[in-house]
Amino acid sequence: MNKKKSKPVSNTIALNKKARHDYQLMDKFEAGVELQGWEVKSIRAGKANITDSYVIIHQGEAYLMGSRISPLNQASSHVVCDPERNRKLLLNKRELDKLIGARERQGYSIVATAMYWKKCWVKVEIYLAKGKQAHDKRDAVKDRDWARQKERVMKHKA
């Protein structure tokens, strides 16, 4: 039996690394995304970007803003494609109520941090977040550098 071991396939489609730098992330939610057929084909080809994505609440429903899914030439010849359209997020009522409450009462932002496959569905990881001040960002950089230095010292001692 000659079975080749395939390398593990990453489920991640797109990441928003900037969000971890600009925001202090609090509560995590997982939301489905309402997509059109050409968008799914483009996502499979790796043409998704959520770098500047955020979530708005409009009439009791959540929408992903600022995400870009570039259309494929062969997949979208007969459909009018809008790469930056607002995509509806699929959340249950309890989750929506929690997001709406935190947004309105406590002034949180809702930020998309990752897009990934879960079985055959595209999911978006969203967080309730507070914006960081400039001094908070500097502190985070200092802490990260200090942790890196500690690792180096411990590595050389062992």
Cβ neighbours of 88 (radius 10 Å): 15
Asked whether 51 and 18 are in contact (CB, 8 A), the reply is yes
The span from the CA of 46 to the CA of 68, in Å, is 11
Domains and CATH numbers, the chain: 12-132 (2.40.280.10)
Question: What is the b/e burial string over 94-111, where b = at least 16 CB atoms within 10 angstroms of the residue's CB?
Answer: ebbeebeebbeeeebbbb
**Residue 97: φ, ψ to 5°:** -60, -40
**Which residues partner with 31 through β-bridges?**
124
Q: What is the pLDDT along the chain (158 residues), one digit of tens a residue?
A: 555 555 556 788 888 888 887 888 888 999 999 988 888 888 888 888 988 888 899 998 999 998 898 888 775 566 778 888 899 999 999 999 998 888 888 878 889 999 999 988 999 999 988 877 766 667 777 888 888 888 888 888 76
Give pTM, 2 decimals.
0.75
Cβ neighbours of 43 (radius 10 Å): 19
